[in-house]
Amino acid sequence: MIPPAAFLLLSAVLFSLGVLAFFVKKDLLTQFMAVEVMLNASNLAFLAMAKASGQAAGQVIVLFVITVAAAEAVIGLAIIVLIFRQRRTIRTDELKDLRG
Amino acid sequence: MVRYFWLIPLLPGASALLLLLLGPRLSRRWISWQACLTVFLSFALSLAGFVHLVRAGHGSSGLAKTLLPWIASGSFSAAISFAFDELAAVMALVVTGVGLLIHVYSVGYMAADRAYSRYFAYLNLFTFFMLVLVLASDIVLMFVGWEGVGLCSYLLIGFWFERPAASKAGMKAFIVNRIGDAAFIVGVLFLLVNVGSSSFAAINAAPAAGVLGPGLVTLVAILLFVGATGKSAQIPLYVWLPDAMEGPTPVSALIHAATMVTAGVYMVCRLSGLFAASQAASSVVAWVGGLTAVFAATIALVQHDIKRVLAYSTISQIGYMFLGCGVGAYAAGMFHLVTHAFFKSLLFLAAGSVIHALGGEQDMRRMGGLKKALPTTFPVFLVGALAIAGVPFLSGFFSKDAILTSAFAGGHYVLYALGLSGAVLTALYMFRLIYMTFYGQTRATHPAGTAPHVHESPPVMTVPLVVLAVFSALAGFAGLPVLLGEKANWIGGFLEAVLEPAAHHLALSTEVGLILAATAAALAGIAMAFVFYRKRPDLPERTARSFPGIYRLLVGKYYVDEAYDAVVVRPLVRGAETVYARFDLGVIDGALDGSAAAAASAGKGLNVLQSGLVRDYALAFLLGAILFLGVLLL
Amino acid sequence: MSAMLSGLPLVSIVTFLPLAGAVLLVFFRRGSARAVRATALGVSLLTFVLSLLLFFAYDGASGLPELVERSSWLRGGIDYHVGVDGISLFLVLLAALMTPLALLSSWRAVDDRIKEFSFFMLLLETGMIGVFVSLNLFLFYVFWEAMLIPMYFLIGIWGGRRRIYATTKFVLFTMFGSLLMLVAIFVLQAAYSRAMGSPSLTIADLAAVPLSPALQSWLFLAFGLAFAIKIPLFPLHTWLPDAHVEAPTAGSVLLAAVLLKMGAYGFLRLGLPLFPAAAASFAPALSILAVVGIIYGGLMALVQKDMKSLVAYSSVSHMGLIMLAVFSLNFEATEGAIYQMLNHGLSTGALFLCVGILYERTHTRLIADYGGAAARMPVFAGLFLVAMLSSAGLPGLNGFVGEFLCFFGIFAANKTLAVLSVSTVVLSAAYLLWLYRRVMHGPLKDPADRRLRDLDGRELACLVPLVVLMLFMGLFPGTFLRKMDSSVARYVESLRSKAPVVTALELPGRPGAEATALAEPER
Amino acid sequence: MGFPPPIPPSVLALAPLLALVAGALLVLLLEAFLKRKDGELPAFVAVFALLASAFFTVVSWNVGNSGVYLHGRLLVDNLALLVTGVLVLAGIAVILMSLKYAAHQDMNLGQLCGLLLLAVAGAMIMVSSSDGLVVFLGLEVLSVASYAMSGLKRQDRASSEAAAKYFLMGSFAGAFFVFGLALVFGTSGSLDLTAGLSAGASLSAFPAAGAVGLGLILTALFFKIAVAPFHMWAPDVYEGAPTPVTVFLTIVPKAAGLAVLLRVLLPLLSGETAAAAVFTPALSVAAVLTMFAGNLAALRQKSVKRMLAYSSIAHAGYLLVAIVAGDAPSLVFYLLVYLFMNGGAFAVLVAMSGRGFERASLGDFAGLGRRHPGLAASLSIFLLSLAGFPPTAGFLAKFYVFGAAVREGHILLAVAAVLASLIAVAYYLKIIVVMYMQDAEAAAAFDRDDPALFLVIFLGLLGVLQLGLWPGNALSLIRAAFNAF
């Protein structure tokens, strides 16, 4: 039986990886995927906790989070498409008309 | 009639107000009459009051009238109240009498001037303030007159304000006076706070009552005297008076010879109780007076401008008055004030008549030989000269002698010597003037090349001259030397009611000796003048050449003006300019604008951080989060 | 008189009538310049007349505020609470007098956006009067700050070349002080409700709060900074010359005549009564600053090239004297200070009017561009001279009375400072007469220049009332002083009772007891 | 309204929310099936929905319908109701000022209205629950809708860039919230944000993981409120988004986030607890950073819109001061006032725009005082209120917030706050300078027939002056609301 702490640790690592990816990746799409990784890290944590404390709530949350992620993805992709239409690129660093 | 003595100042005041408000609309005739008449009425009132006092004899406390409670706040209060005692009576008579004559004289002298009404408005205004000064029974109110005459002096010196020299002289006069006044104010403050009252009675009584400690008495007296040196043009604040000659000549006669400049002496006499109480202060007064008397006289020796000679002579004569007051002979000082008022205003007016005759020429080097041309002016001028020179039995002789005698009697032998040498110099420069102006060939050069048409002045000018000449000649008999009997010195007795009596008396023989000495001095001076400027006109140049240093020093008036300019004025202005540029604009404003700039550049920095790159934003977010969590955990 | 006025909210009317007028102006058509000007002038004149009623209605026996109106406004002790006492009464009158004159003076000078101009002028008047009549700290602060806005626009829109720099500097500098004062107000409010249980911002109540010395000092410094900037006290004065030089004549007049007084008034109304001990302990330092200001301002005025900045620096000098008097903490000095505030209002206001009159003709303020104006403008020369002499404190005019009372009180408190402050007598004469000589005297700069015509009726109407008032106040100061007496006495007493330092600081100057005793018969 | 509610409390509690959601769906349907795209019908529907929701809010206020519903998922209390009121008002204002604007900038009004309703609903959900999950859902609904709204100007590069940046950063922050929630859940076994550290509990008693979790949640909220240093997305998004949307973004998410923050932190900050000892300084620092970052960065802006964007960051800082002081009434009052003055200022910006163009640069305002005195005067009043000059509401709001801070002993914080607002005065006045003290090079004309917009401006003025001079009613209402606190 693996202690919940391990899951927690794993999720933390995952989350950090997501953050890391968010920084190293250079285009909107992959950066958003990095965010997805972070969200799923949280999901993992939730599940572990739910298991440990035997609360169903934790598992329900995961569903919510997934749904939300999906919704975000929809809007996000729409925006990314919009950006691509206008600029023929989705490199994040190109987005610097607004500054200063 | 006497009850209305308080109208004495108000009449000319009202006239002045009227002239100031609607002067230009009035006819010259009306203006002249109004101006002179009001002064005449004041004169009449003063005369009435004077007679009243004489009749009342000693022990009469004089007349007093409080017009309105003026300033009152907490423990400070000053009322507008006038008092008419012996001292005030004498002074008022001088002011209104001489003033009247000069008003009349001005009618002729200023006849051609554009700003006729303004001139008489100022002249009346001056008379008003001067009389306020004289009649005030309260030192704060006296200060009103004190400053008021200063203002009028400023206005009248700068009467022809289009002339830069004139307006400059006016300004100089006012500011220099203000320096004295600052000290005066401080003195008054000491009195107010320590005596707790501003009335002369209380102040004069204070030292005796012990309200004022001896040290304080000296301090206050000296402070007030500094004010006097400003008003009465004594060392070190005399520098404004010679320049004041830029004003119209009647003004010089009235303000800068007869009345205003002697206000300092009057003030000292008013407060004789205070001054007499401090030996130190008195000797300061005496020494400043004595030194000024000689100092100014030496400068007068080498002046070429006829009015400036008279100006320096005025300074010197006022020096005598202070010398008198300083040695405790206040009556003598007042006496000399009176006689001086007569003969000096006479001299000025006569000089004015000369200038008038020469169409504005003031330089004696371009005069000469006017004796014939000015049949009235010359004799009266001569009378004045003899009087001031102290030739026996003329007014100046008695008054000056009274001062010197009491100086000697007080044991102030050095001061006596100073006074005596001053007397010699006085005779010398006066007769230098006489000879250069009236004798010899005419040196008058006229732009047209032709000799100017020299003409005697109209009677409206000459009549006052004659009157003054008479007084200059005879006024002395109001104060004969005591050796002619106790009652001889009438004016001294009259004033004793108010003034501290002169302490010492001398043996007859000594007095006679002193009188002879004085006479000798006067004659010696005249003789020297005769030799230098009549017999051997080349002598002056040679003497000058043999003592170039001294000569240049005298011509340069000891370079006092230059010294003041270099030591006080210029450093002050330059310094202020530097501070303004360096500190005001540099440091203070610099700090303000600097902080503004700092904020702006901080903003610029933030704007640079706001790079527009999501990565940077996320980084800031992350760092912030880490920091925050760190805080929570630690 | 007061019976007739009973029930009439006179103070509120005087305060808000100008505001009503301003609102009225909004509905005027643009371009109807004459109507706008006339209305504004009429309203301000009416305000002045009503303020005269205040003068008569104020009895001044008790020294407490009279004609008080009070109604609760917000929670936390914030009431609408106004009234006048001997200290504020004449400042209200001053504001009510100067506004119509200022409007009149700009009759021709301002021809752009007259509607807005008049609007802001009236707004300013309400602000100024409001500051003086407020008896509630919150209300005071509201007026104090609100007043900045119209002044900001007046300088910024109708000002000179560097107007924007000047007006921004003015607002930011002034706000810097008043914002710290705001924090101090919070602290005071909190302290009060902690001590008394119930909150209150009534000034009279706040004086009763027990404060630790340290806290009191901090609060005094916060309040003092705001007031010192407004006065302005050396070295916080540099906004003033800029503001004056750039402001339009009307702005300068009100700025000099009324706004500067608010600093000194603030000290009298709040700074000292609320924190007497701290005030007494800071008095020496502030007095020294004030003296420095007197001399420094005078010297700076001496070397100004611009007439307006010369007068501005002269204000620094004069206000320094007033400050010094205020901090002498005795009756005579305080009364002198208040009187001198009025005098400075009149004389400096008049001087700025004079400068404005010259500027209207030649469109330059540089002294060097003038010369011999007196020849062309004799009447103006006379009035200018009187204004100048009043500012220089010539006896017989108002300036002397105030100045002398100040000297007297200062001297009683501290001889050295008094002696130093007397130097203003020389300095003011020097810079003013020199100015006068360079501008009015000498040969005409440009004889061909016909623009220098003498005063017209309107300009006379601006200057003559002031000059007459100068003479009147010089000869009959009692008319004013008597109305102040009891309030000032009460004020000084409260200081004495609260801060033993005050008496200690005030006594050595004179053996007060017998001095007063000796003075008694005179009164 | 004393009549007994015909509907059961739980439904009534949900009613405002339902009204909005229903409205949103209706609008989107209309938008889908309506032929004429430029019709204003959706707007009317949306406004109606908002009014309905407002009505229900008022009803449940009047019947005192506060309580916990849906098994603790829905918490209706006065804070919730008041903030809901603010949110709804903001929504109405936004719609009214976009009627013409949308047409001019060829934005799809229908979509705007729909998204707006959803966003408001999301915000409403956030404020009316203490349950972490519900708050998260509300947050996400709000965010997702906001992303879309900021990108509604399809042709405009700036708009879509704003949307992209907002989306990316927003989802990034959202992830933090979720992970934090997971940790809190893990350590406290509950989703209740306040339960984790119930009042007075000390952090030490609370496991590190939980602390971290709470911290992460707070950072996400800071992000929404745009607290420095989590604010950097804000200026870009505010500038890029369509102006009415900017109004929405500067008010609604802030209000919602602050309400949640208040809920979470108030129990912690009250009293001398260890938690307070940690949070108070941290929040104070954050507040000071925010105020200065916003105001300093605004100083040199050339675009009025961006300037106001920075100013709204600074105001977040002032609001945070209220949180530090733990003074709910002043917070809510400030929010209300801020709605009026900020909305008003932006409304004037909207009025400056025209068909196919916006005028937001300082130069465009030159001489406005001459050409459009009314507009210039209104903007000046809004700016003076933002700057905190009496007698405007802005002053009173600051007066109460800073006063509360001092009362709670945060004097230095108050000093910092006033100094920050002094800096702010500098740039607010700059706009006024341009409007009145510089003359226009080119007289810009634009059509004035936008009654809805001018209604908004007028109401803004009314609010700013009313709340500045006679705020009695509003204040007593708010105070009454927080006797509970």
Nearest CA of chain B to the CA of D465: how many Å? 31
Tell me how far apart the alpha carbons of residues A28 and A20 are, in angstroms, rounded to a whole number.
Answer: 15
Is B253 within a domain?
no
Residue B252 and residue B348 in contact, taking contact as beta carbons nearer than 8 Å: yes
Nearest CA of chain D to the CA of C66: how many Å? 25
Question: Testing the interface with B: which of C164, C165, C168, C238 to mutate, by most B Cβ within 10 A?
Answer: C238
Local confidence band at D195 (pLDDT 50, 70, 90 cut-offs): low
Q: Do B611 and A99 touch (CB under 8 A)?
A: yes
Q: What pLDDT shows up at residue D4? A: 56
B633 close contact with A: CB closer than 8 A: no
B185-189, B617-621, C360-364: lowest mean pLDDT where? C360-364
Nearest CA of chain D to the CA of B598: how many Å? 10
Query: Which of D419, D433, D472 is facing C156, going by the closest CB pair?
Result: D433
Q: Do C442 and B162 touch (CB under 8 A)?
A: yes
Q: What pLDDT shows up at residue B146? A: 95
Q: Do B617 and D173 touch (CB under 8 A)?
A: no
Nearest CA of chain C to the CA of D6: how many Å? 37
Residue D201 has pLDDT above 50, yes or no: no
Mention every residue, 6+ apart, whose C-beta is less than 8 A from residue B529.
B427, B428, B429, B430, B431, B432, B434, B435
Percent of chain B with pLDDT over 70: 97
Percent of chain C with pLDDT over 90: 77
What mean pLDDT do residues D385-410 have?
Answer: 94
Residues of chain D in Cβ contact (below 8 Å) with chain B: 165, 168-169, 172-173, 176, 203, 208, 211-212, 214-216, 218-219, 222-223, 228-230, 232-233, 235-236, 278, 281-282, 286, 293, 296-300, 423, 426
Is D5 within a domain?
no
What mean pLDDT do residues C48-74 have?
Answer: 91
Query: Which of A19, A31, A96 is facing B613, going by the closest CB pair?
Result: A96
Contacts of D183 in chain A (CB under 8 A): 8, 45
Residue C25 and residue C122 in contact, taking contact as beta carbons nearer than 8 Å: yes
Residue found under tokens 């006689």: B339
Nearest CA of chain B to the CA of D213: how many Å? 9
Is D1 within a domain?
no
Contacts of B192 in chain C (CB under 8 A): 408, 411
The residue of chain D with its CA nearest to that of B613 is D165
Residue D30 and residue D11 in contact, taking contact as beta carbons nearer than 8 Å: no
Q: How many residues does chain A have?
A: 100
Residue B600's domain comprises 561-633
Nearest CA of chain B to the CA of D296: how many Å? 4
Q: What pLDDT shows up at residue B446? A: 56
- Count up the domains in chain C and report the number: 1
Q: Do B168 and C437 touch (CB under 8 A)?
A: yes
Residue D194 has pLDDT above 80, yes or no: no
Size of interface A-B (CB pairs under 8 A): 27
Structure tokens at D253: 């998410």
Please give the model's pTM, rounded to 2 decimal places.
0.93
pLDDT tens digits along C91-144? 999 999 999 999 999 988 888 889 999 999 999 999 999 999 999 999 999 999
Is B127 within a domain?
no
Q: What pLDDT shows up at residue D206? A: 59
Nearest to D388 by CA among D427, D434, D422: D422
Tell me how far apart the alpha carbons of residues D153 and B425 are, in angstroms, rounded to a whole number.
Answer: 105
What mean pLDDT do residues D354-370 have?
Answer: 86
Contacts of B167 in chain C (CB under 8 A): 437, 441-442
Query: Which of B606, B616, B617 is facing D297, going by the closest CB pair?
Result: B606
Nearest CA of chain B to the CA of D16: how many Å? 34
C23 close contact with D: CB closer than 8 A: no
Q: Do D296 and B599 touch (CB under 8 A)?
A: yes
Query: Which of B607, B617, B628 is facing D282, going by the closest CB pair?
Result: B628
Residue C207's domain comprises 69-82+157-515
Nearest to C309 by CA among C231, C245, C226: C245
The residue of chain A with its CA nearest to that of D209 is A8
Query: Which of D161, D168, D174 is facing A31, going by the closest CB pair?
Result: D168
A62 close contact with D: CB closer than 8 A: no
- Chains A and C touch, contact meaning at least 3 pairs of CB atoms under 8 angstroms apart: no
C182 close contact with D: CB closer than 8 A: yes
Residues of chain D in Cβ contact (below 8 Å) with chain C: 369-370, 373, 384, 389-391, 395, 399, 402-403, 405-407, 411, 414-415, 418-419, 421-422, 425-426, 429, 432-433, 436-437, 471-472, 475-476, 479
Nearest to A7 by CA among A48, A53, A54, A50: A48
A37 close contact with B: CB closer than 8 A: no
Task: State yes or no: cis peptide before B481, omega within 30 of 0.
Answer: no
Residues B151-164 as b/e (b if ≥16 CB within 10 A, e otherwise) read bbbbbbbbbbbeee
Q: Do B576 and C412 touch (CB under 8 A)?
A: no
Handedness of CA B474, B477, B479, B483 (dihedral sign): positive
The residue of chain C with its CA nearest to that of D385 is C146
Amino acid at D18: L
Local confidence band at B374 (pLDDT 50, 70, 90 cut-offs): confident
Contacts of A13 in chain D (CB under 8 A): none
Local confidence band at D441 (pLDDT 50, 70, 90 cut-offs): low
CATH code reported for the domain at A4-98: 1.10.287.3510
Is D441 within a domain?
yes
pLDDT tens digits along C187-219? 999 999 988 888 899 999 998 888 889 999 999
Q: Do A86 and D160 touch (CB under 8 A)?
A: yes
Residue C295 has pLDDT above 80, yes or no: yes
- Chains D and A touch, contact meaning at least 3 pairs of CB atoms under 8 angstroms apart: yes
Contacts of C182 in chain D (CB under 8 A): 399, 402, 418
Is D62 within a domain?
yes
What mean pLDDT do residues B365-377 have?
Answer: 86
In Å, the largest CA–CA distance within chain D is 66
Query: Which of D219, D233, D300 is facing B600, going by the closest CB pair?
Result: D300
Nearest CA of chain A to the CA of D300: how many Å? 9
Residue D227's domain comprises 11-481
Residue C215 and residue C191 in contact, taking contact as beta carbons nearer than 8 Å: yes
Question: Testing the interface with D: which of C119, C186, C201, C212 to mutate, by most D Cβ within 10 A?
Answer: C186
B583, exposed or middle or buried, with CB in 10 Å at 0-12, 13-18, 19+?
A: middle
Nearest to B251 by CA among B143, B160, B361, B354: B160
Residue B449 has pLDDT above 50, yes or no: no
Residue found under tokens 């001044």: C60
The residue of chain C with its CA nearest to that of D383 is C149
Strand (E) or helix (H) holding C72: strand C66-74
Is D4 within a domain?
no
CA distances from C179 to B354, C172, D331, D399, D417 (A): 73, 10, 20, 11, 10
- Count up the domains in chain D and report the number: 1
Contacts of D306 in chain A (CB under 8 A): 100
Amino acid at B45: L
A26 close contact with D: CB closer than 8 A: no
Q: Crossing angle, helix C276-302 and helix B570-579, to 10 degrees?
A: 120
Is B362 within a domain?
no
Residue D162 has pLDDT above 90, yes or no: yes
- Count up the domains in chain B and report the number: 1
pLDDT tens digits along C301-345? 999 999 999 999 999 999 999 999 999 999 999 999 999 999 999
Size of interface B-C (CB pairs under 8 A): 169
Local confidence band at B450 (pLDDT 50, 70, 90 cut-offs): very low
Nearest CA of chain B to the CA of C169: how many Å? 9
B594, exposed or middle or buried, with CB in 10 Å at 0-12, 13-18, 19+?
A: exposed
Query: Which of D391, D415, D425 is facing C142, going by the closest CB pair?
Result: D391
Residue B542 has pLDDT above 50, yes or no: yes
pLDDT tens digits along B262-275? 999 999 999 999 99
Note the ipTM here: 0.92
